[in-house]
Amino acid sequence: MAQHSNSLSIGRLLRAPLSGVLLAAAAFSAVPLQQLPGLAQESLPLNEIRALNFARDYAVRLNGGLTVYRPAQCMFTTSAPSNPCLVNSDGNGFTFRFLGGPPGWVSENKPATKETELKVSADGRSLVKVIYNGAPR
């Protein structure tokens, strides 16, 4: 019986996405996950990820929506332990400063048309203050 269930597990793994195969390989070979490429990313605290997402979404709404405005790429990076858009983090919240512009501004090598600086609460769920939202300084 045990042999049958192992073959079923391996059969499922062969049809699984690559990450599932890597996880299974680690389980069968006793390789720590930290040694597998792409799976051992340092993760940010949930409140910091929530604050980043909140700030990005708030800026999009503040600047007219996605049809006319796109924030800088750093506002989409939730796995970077040192995000250049995060200028301050303390017990009072998170301060993000980032550029933005019309859709395609980065890929078309155009200058940013907006700079936004927002303070988000420490739990990442609410806006504390719009510090700046205007032409790039």
- Block means of pLDDT (10 residues each) for the chain, 137 residues, are 48 47 47 48 83 97 98 90 92 97 97 98 98 98
Helices (H) and strands (E) in the chain, counts: 3, 5
Closest to 78 measured CA to CA, from 103, 108, 101, 46: 46
Q: What is the pLDDT of residue 42?
A: 61
Q: What is the pLDDT of residue 63?
A: 98
Distance, CA of 29 to CA of 15 (rounded, Å): 19
Instruction: Indicate yes or no: pTM above 0.85.
Output: no
Burial (0-12, 13-18, 19+ Cβ within 10 Å), 114: buried
What is the three-class DSSP state of 113? Answer: coil
